[in-house]
Structure 1
Amino acid sequence: MNSSRTPARDERLHGTHAAVIEWYRRASRDLPWRAPERTPWQVLVSEIMLQQTPVGRVLPVWRRWLEQWPEPGDLAAASPAEVLRAWDRLGYPRRALRLHAAAQNIAAEHDGRVPEDHAQLLALPGIGAYTAAAVAVFAFGQRHTVVDTNIRRVEARVFSGRALPSRSLTAAETRLAQDVLPQDIAESVAWNQAVMELGALICTARSPRCDECPVRRDCAWVAAGSPPAQETPRGQLWHGTDRQVRGAMMAVLRAADEPVRAQLLLTDLAGSEQIAGEHAAPPAVVIERLGALWRLPVPAEQRERALNGLLADGLATSDDGAVSLPG
């Protein structure tokens, strides 16, 4: 969309805003971090958990997390091991440690309250540009440009006529998001919420439901005949990757009350019975998760690389050949 201001452009843009926001009021999901009584801390926790993780997986963990640590100071007092166990299977567990570090900073530097100032949010450890903007908008009702994958995809289609945005956020996409953001503060908050939800529910990457879209008639991509993407979207690989091996190792460590011998994490199914038989048997739940790890058809060097990665990222510690979650 051309950023030059004309009455006709402003009228079209206002109509787009109004249609998407009205659709959101009718069709949005009822999520607890959107409730009127939600707190800034609840919003911050949700934003960290929702990064690269579906809502359905986040909801039960988010609820348990807030029951256990209802305020930043509560989480700040927890140990890294407690935090990583509570993170459960959300994936990308470094996010848990970043959230823990942010909570410690909030407790120490902001009297235990999530700061309202955008610059202070951005200065929190582990909080990037997207999360700072999202918390400022969704927790404090401020006017900032929020640019996640869903928003980028909707705006690429509606305003630029492209099937999909670039694989990485570009300066042009950021300028577009800023250009189409309503000037009115309340309307800007509503637009950020609504266009994000539209991308999650209707304007999806692989199977967009254009017939249900509130701005179908104004969509540049539909007007162009819905041309295919220049690049085929690639799903995130999982099976056979280091991420899968790391996740299986973390599952073992979360279940273990005692340090686990590194040899048990690095073996494969063929040698597991001999190794396990040489020592006292771990608890049943640890054996179950070790079994899942041993069954992964990956080479020894990949197991070593995955374990070394966990140690380097601070997600595990090693002492005298035994591995555990950080204390």
Structure 2
Amino acid sequence: MSIAPATSDWFEGNGRDLPWRRPGFTAWGTLVSEFMLQQTPVVRVIPRLEEWLDRWPTPADLAAAPSGDAVRAWASLGYPRRALALHAAAVAITERHVGVVPHDVPSLLALPGVGDYTARAVAVFAYGHRHPVVDVNIRRVIARAVHGQGEPGPAAKRDLADMEAILPESVTDARRANVAIMELGAVVCTARSPRCDACPIADQCAWRLAGYPAFEGKRAPVQKKFAGSDRQVRGLIMAELRASDVPVTADEVALVCALEEQRVRALAGLLADGLVVAVDDAYQLPD
């Protein structure tokens, strides 16, 4: 029995009102939101997304701006390489697709920074095509409801096949099922505290029916702590550069982190990633 019907019915009365789910939201807005939502909570994305689309309502608008402006506008969303990739995607859309976000998965995958999930998400949520969309929330629901496992484990190709089998044949119903199962994983079937009492498919859930067995498979690598990490120092350096309209001297950069070896390593990584450029004995965001 498919979990799609009950989940879709539940979503109609319980889905969150999010900007990218509203009628008339553009394909460009959908692409921007998907870039921003990668490893970033929804509550942090919404205000930044609105600011971004007010400033750059089309790919051509962003493509015409310096890439450094995109990095500066990214502000505290984290993983600023996404801003560079999104700017590069805007340039590609402008040059290859006359400023229109493509609708097919192969063309979307050819854009900088666009992976399989993002390509399918844009094709489905912006253009209404029928594809299985699989993010971490959907993978968790499938692992529990279909396979009886408490966690999805490392990424596996079988999730796409499982989601394809779950989707209704109707294009409209398939789109609704994608977003409904994603929402269920985000707000009910959560990683740490699943609310089975509020779950519309509790009676179908293989994990629940099996008595919530402990997960014994391989787990995805645990992300290192942020505090004291090179990633934190990179963020401190980026914050210093975003706050300045002129190049920041090496002495000023040195003030953000007392550990010289870590600071040098973080700065070298930013330079290699193209997020920072050297100007004489100073540093700035890319032009």
Q: TM-score range, shorter-chain basis? A: over 0.9
Q: Which residue of 1 aligns with 2:184?
A: 198
Q: Which residue of 2 aligns with 1:40?
A: 27
Residues 117 and 134 in structure 2, CA contact (< 8 A), matched pair in contact too: yes
Q: Tell me which of 230, 234, 237 is aligned to 1:246.
A: 234
In the aligned structure 2, how far is the partner of 1:94 from the partner of 1:228?
37
Matched, 1:143 2:130: yes
Matched, 1:68 2:28: no
Q: Which residue of 1 aligns with 2:205?
A: 219
SS in structure 2 at match of 1:323: strand
In the aligned structure 1, how far is the partner of 2:172 from the partner of 2:225?
39
In the aligned structure 1, how far is the partner of 2:159 from the partner of 2:5?
22
Q: TM-score normalised to the size of structure 1? A: 0.84
**What do the CA deviations read for 1:124-158 (whole angstroms, capped 9, x no partner)?**
12211111000000000001111100000001000
Residues 153 and 219 in structure 2, CA contact (< 8 A), matched pair in contact too: no
Q: Which residue of 2 aligns with 1:299?
A: 259
SS in structure 1 at match of 2:9: helix
Code of the residue aligned with 1:248 in structure 2: it is: L
In the aligned structure 1, how far is the partner of 2:269 from the partner of 2:168?
44
In the aligned structure 1, how far is the partner of 2:259 from the partner of 2:21?
45
Instruction: Point out the more displaced range, 315-324 or 54-63.
Output: 315-324
**What do the CA deviations read for 1:149-185 (whole angstroms, capped 9, x no partner)?**
0000001000000000013x11233322222222221
In the aligned structure 2, how far is the partner of 1:37 from the partner of 1:299?
50
Matched, 1:323 2:283: yes
In the aligned structure 2, how far is the partner of 1:304 from the partner of 1:236?
20
SS in structure 2 at match of 1:257: coil
Give the deviation of 1:99 after TM superposition. Answer: 0.6
Q: CA RMSD in A?
A: 1.4
Q: Which residue of 2 aligns with 1:130?
A: 117
Code of the residue aligned with 1:139 in structure 2: it is: A
In the aligned structure 2, how far is the partner of 1:19 from the partner of 1:161?
18
Higher Rg: 1
In the aligned structure 2, how far is the partner of 1:232 from the partner of 1:139?
32
Q: Tell me which of 239, 242, 247 is aligned to 1:259.
A: 247
Matched, 1:177 2:163: yes
Instruction: Point out the more displaced range, 53-62 or 315-324.
Output: 315-324
**What do the CA deviations read for 1:20-66 (whole angstroms, capped 9, x no partner)?**
00111111110111101101011111011001000000000000000
Structure 1 alignment gaps of length 5 or more: 1-11, 268-292
In the aligned structure 1, how far is the partner of 2:109 from the partner of 2:157?
19
Code of the residue aligned with 2:164 in structure 1: it is: Q
Q: TM-score normalised to the size of structure 2? A: 0.96
Structure 2 alignment gaps of length 5 or more: none
Give the deviation of 1:232 after TM superposition. Answer: 7.0
Query: CA separation of 1:32/1:189 partners in 2, compared to 1, >3 Å: closer, same or farther?
Result: same
Code of the residue aligned with 1:175 in structure 2: it is: A
Alignment of 1:11-50 (within 5 A): 12-13=1-2, 16-50=3-37
Code of the residue aligned with 1:224 in structure 2: it is: A
Q: Tell me which of 42, 51, 54 is aligned to 2:41.
A: 54
Q: Which residue of 2 aligns with 1:280?
A: none
Code of the residue aligned with 1:135 in structure 2: it is: V
Query: CA separation of 1:148/1:236 partners in 2, compared to 1, >3 Å: closer, same or farther?
Result: farther
**What do the CA deviations read for 1:276-309 (whole angstroms, capped 9, x no partner)?**
xxxxxxxxxxxxxxxxx34xxx732111111000
| Percent pairwise identity | 52
Give the deviation of 1:115 after TM superposition. Answer: 1.0
